[in-house]
């Protein structure tokens, strides 16, 4: 796969603080083509598909407690719940779901890489 256009396009979604940017940086170091999908900020439930239409959609799960502590957010639980509501369509359609709550960034990357071996372009 020397032609970049032939590589899988990986979309990454999840609530704030779930580790999207960190995972994308790690996947890109392994040669994957990735897109950060800010679905949690959109009222359009299919935005992830309309704008990016990735070959593989990775959803990163993260609790309210971890989201607010990782990002130093001054949120109420309902703010996190609203993000989860906005992400529900992406969650339902994700190819890979990783619960990041009890994992290090390296462990999240390892899980993603392991799952991605099952996908080919």
pLDDT in tens, 44-74: 777 778 788 999 999 999 999 988 888 777 7
For residue 3, is it within any domain?
no
User: Residue 25's pLDDT is what?
Assistant: 97
Instruction: Give the phi and the psi of residue 27 in degrees, each rounded to 5.
Output: -65, -40
- The token pair that represents 118 in the structure block: 């099952």
Is there a domain that residue 62 lies in?
yes
Of the chain, the percentage scoring pLDDT greater than 70 comes to: 92
Q: How many domains does the chain have?
A: 1
Q: Write down the pLDDT at residue 121.
A: 62
Residue 108 lies in a domain: no
Residue pLDDT, tens place only, 3-56: 555 789 999 999 989 999 999 999 999 999 999 988 776 667 777 787 889 999
Specify the pTM: 0.88
Q: Please check whether residue 118 lies inside any domain of the structure.
A: no
Q: What angle do CA 41, 45, 51 make, to 5 degrees?
A: 80
Higher pLDDT, 82 or 73: 82
Residue 71: predicted pLDDT: 76
- Contact call for residues 10 and 27 (beta carbons, < 8 A): yes
Contact between 45 and 88 under an 8 Å Cβ cutoff? The reply is yes
| CATH number for the domain harbouring residue 57 | 3.40.50.300
- Outline where the chain has alpha helix (H): 20-29, 47, 64-71, 77-93, 105-116
Bridge-partner residues for 59, per DSSP?
A: 13, 97
Domain holding 63, by residue range, is 8-103
113 is a domain residue: no
């Amino acid at each position: 796969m020397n032609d970049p256009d032939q590589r899988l396009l990986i979309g990454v979604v999840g609530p704030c603080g779930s580790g999207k940017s960190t995972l994308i940086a790690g996947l890109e170091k392994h040669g994957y083509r990735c897109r950060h999908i800010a679905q949690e900020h959109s009222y359009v439930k299919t935005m992830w598909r309309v704008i990016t239409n990735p070959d593989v959609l990775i959803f990163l799960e993260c609790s309210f407690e971890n989201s607010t502590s990782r990002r130093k957010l001054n949120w109420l639980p309902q703010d996190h719940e609203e993000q989860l509501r906005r992400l529900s369509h992406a969650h339902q359609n994700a190819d890979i779901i990783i619960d990041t709550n009890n994992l290090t960034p390296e462990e999240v990357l390892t899980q993603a890489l392991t799952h991605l071996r099952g996908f080919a372009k």
